[in-house]
Structure 1
Amino acid sequence: MSQTADRIRVRLPATSANLGPGFDTAAVALDFHLTVEAEPAAAFSIAATGRDAERCGALEDNLVIELYRTLLEREGRPATPLAIRMENEIPLGMGCGSSAAGRLAAIVLANHFGSLGWSSDRVLAEASELEGHPDNAAACWLGGFVASGTQGGEVHVARVTPPEDWRAIVVLPTEPLATSKARAVLPAIYARTDVVINLQGVAMLGLAFAQGRGELLKAAMTDRVHQPYRSAICPQLPKLLPLAGQEGILGVALSGAGPAVLAIVNGERSVAGAFRVIFDAMQEIQRPELLLCRFESQGTVVETGVHA
């Protein structure tokens, strides 16, 4: 066992964005992760385990490697070949923040091996620009529940730690959904009444997380901006939205652009009942995979000089 100064380990949480009304604004970190270890090598290689290991381990069109190279080329630095070990728990293409985690991993690797000297704020700004919005990137980088926005090229984030006893159930269908397809179904113009309802919801949403006001979530997670339009391509969503308020389920929303659905549950005592009504609601479609997790308050963890 030897220590190598250039070796790095990055552990990044999954995230669920929007949470109903907080379109491109609100997100929360979940405690399943992408872990990436890397060290200099003669050539690029990836050894991947966990979910979607074959896709994560492919050298061609690999998000982490391609972005790592692109960033260092842009900054005029050599792209040192890396031997990468990747353990993935985040479902790909499901609306659980896999792209934000992958992009942040690439940025951290470029910052470290390219000696870029970027601050935490710069790393988050780079990830937010690449994502096109800061919500997933902010929650992945900082952990907890975040409300975020970009003005004048600067990312602004307010963060709170979610209540310790709340749990998240992520309902996963069998097939992924491209974010581009999920965005293509959205209208260009919205009615004022729909916008006002979302503004009311997102204001309550932040206070519900900050104050542990679970009774607010059913109303706070109401959305008129994206979920009504995405229901046609996320058929489990209309089956699950009515479950808010039943069996300890505090609120239900599409996770990011979908197709996964997030249910927030009032503690471990409510999990069994929540699982039962979710499975009952999904009988006519398919038996989904359910992931039970806590909310992740730690955010991305970066360790350098780790042992092999």
Structure 2
Amino acid sequence: MRLRAPASSANLGPGFDALGLALNLHLECRFRPAAQLQIRVNGCDAEQIPCDPSNLIWTTATGLASRLGRQLPAIDLEIQNQIPLGKGLGSSAAALVAGVVLADALLDLAWSRTQVLDEAARLEGHPDNVGACVLGGLVASATDSIGQTCAIRLDLPESCKLALIIPGGSLATHKSRAALPDMYSRADLVFNVQRTALLVAALATGTIGALRTALHDRAHQPYRAALVPELERILACTAPGLLGCTLSGAGPAVLVFYENGFDVQPAFAACLRNALWMPIAVSAAGYELSAL
């Protein structure tokens, strides 16, 4: 079978652990029954992805099977990866979703996307990246008191375009999270609640001019700036048509929002000496599973 799971950008500025956007870079897996487990990896950062039973896709699948009192058959698993690792682009979320879907297929569980999302969010610890990976598009999500995920999908307005600024280095999520405070002031809390509400309303209605206010954040980006040397300079950039920039997930990649018909790349020239500029589209679909 063939499985494709998209990359994702989480938070989108103020929507910390609540908003995610599926991006048109994919983790692709092809798998079939085999006499013994075989894993082959090609593509982006392939040298960092294990080809043994410690592979995250496989450990996720076998862990789910074990929790259900089942055992997976051996497979031949071929992985083709487009998602840079350690950049804040949802590579681990894509692998977790792929592992859950792989187990679902091999065990004939016939799970719904809601069940896949609940399991992947439980494993990830927060639903933003996996929500986008499962449903595609723009996803607002929350986890309730019994651990179930409620998620709503929206389409990004066609007038809003995206690009990624991808630095050469990587940043571990646990290190990026460790930079965050345990407590926030009331002023900062209100600031982010206002902008998260405005951001969702702006994207839902196509009022993209409001993004110039809505994309600002006080919950995580100011604290992570020391770990992403160019972040403050990137966030301060202005240009006609530029709507704003946000740290992608834990970083160090940055997501750039701009209006269709404008060329905003020159505004970031001073920030791109050691980084890649990549125009990127939204992945309208979440994961896709099909026969080979």
Residues 199 and 126 of structure 1: CA distance in aligned 2, closer, same or farther (over 3 Å): same
Q: What is the DSSP-based 3-state SS (H/G/I as helix, E as strand, rest coil) of the residue aligned with 2:182?
A: coil
8 Å contact 1:15–1:27 — kept in the other structure?
Answer: yes
Structure 2 partner of 1:221: 215
Q: Distance in 1 between matches of 2:54 and 2:175?
A: 20
Q: Deviations over 1:179-212 (max 9, x none)?
A: 1000101111100000000001100111121111
Tell me whether 1:288 sits opposite 2:275 in the alignment: yes
Whole-angstrom distance in 2 between the partners of 1:236 and 1:129: 33
Note if 1:93 corresponds to 2:80: no
1:142 paired with 2:142, answer no
State the Cα deviation string for residues 77-131 of structure 1 (Å, max 9, x = none): 1121111111111111110010110000000000110222322211100001111
Asked if 2 retains the 8 angstrom alpha-carbon contact of 1:146 and 1:157, the reply is: yes
1:235 to 229, 237, 246: 229
Question: Aligned partners of 1:209 and 1:29: how far apart in 2?
Answer: 14
Matched, 1:300 2:290: no
Which moves more between the two structures, 82-91 or 222-231? 82-91
1:254 corresponds to 2:247: yes
Correspondence for 1:72: 65
Distance of 2:200 and 2:114 partners within structure 1? 22
Shift of 1:132: 0.7
3-state DSSP class of the match of 1:11?
strand
Contact 1:166 1:294 in 2 (8 A): no
- Segments of 5+ residues of structure 1 without an aligned counterpart are 1-7
SS of residue matched to 1:232: helix
Contact 2:29/2:78 (<8 A) preserved: yes
**Does 2:36 match 1:43?**
yes
1:218–1:252: 8 Å Cα contact kept in structure 2?
A: no
CA distance in 1, matches of 2:37, 2:57: 11
After alignment, is 162-171 or 122-131 more displaced?
Answer: 162-171
Q: SS in structure 1 opposite 2:39? A: strand
The corresponding residue for 2:205 is 211
Q: Deviations over 1:224-259 (max 9, x none)?
A: 01000000001121010012x414221101000111
Q: Distance in 1 between matches of 2:156 and 2:187?
A: 30
What residue is the counterpart of 1:4 in the other structure?
none
- Structure 1 contact 41–81 (Cα < 8 Å) conserved: yes
Q: Alpha-carbon deviation of 1:57? A: 5.2
Q: Which residue identity is paired with 1:297?
A: A
The CA deviation string for residues 130-176 of structure 1, in whole angstroms up to 9 with x for no partner, is 11110101111101111110012221112111112422111111111
1:279 aligns with 2:272: no
Relative distance call for 1:220 and 1:122 in structure 2 (3 A) is: same
TM-fit CA distance, 1:60: 5.1
* SS, match of residue 210 in structure 1: helix
121-130 or 166-175, larger mean C-alpha shift: 166-175
For structure 2, list consecutive stretches of 5 or more residues without a partner in the other structure.
none
Number of matched pairs:
291
User: Are 1:18 and 2:8 matched, yes or no?
Assistant: no
Which residue of 170, 173, 193 maps to 1:176? 170
2:48 maps to which residue? 55
Report what 2:101 is aligned to.
108
Task: Check conservation: 2:168, 2:274, Cα contact below 8 A.
Answer: no
Amino acid at match of 2:271: A
Match of 1:159 among 140, 153, 170: 153
SS in 1 for 2:183: coil
1:15 Cα deviation from its structure 2 partner: 0.5
Task: Answer with 52-61 or 162-171: which moved more.
Answer: 52-61
Aligned partner of 1:198 in structure 2 is 192
Q: Is the 1:217–1:250 Cα contact (8 Å) retained in structure 2?
A: yes
- Quote the Cα distance in structure 2 between the aligned partners of 1:10 and 1:101: 11
**Distance in structure 2 (CA, Å) of the matches to 1:144 and 1:169:** 15
Q: Give the alignment's TM-score, normalised by structure 1.
A: 0.91
CA contact (8 A) 1:38 1:83 kept: yes
Residue 24 (structure 2) aligns with = 31
Percent identity between matched residues is 41
Q: CA RMSD in A?
A: 1.4
Structure 1 residues 28-47: Cα deviation after superposition (integer angstroms, max 9, x where no partner): 11111111111111111222
Alpha-carbon separation, structure 2, partners of 1:293 and 1:195: 31
* Other-structure match for 2:113: 120
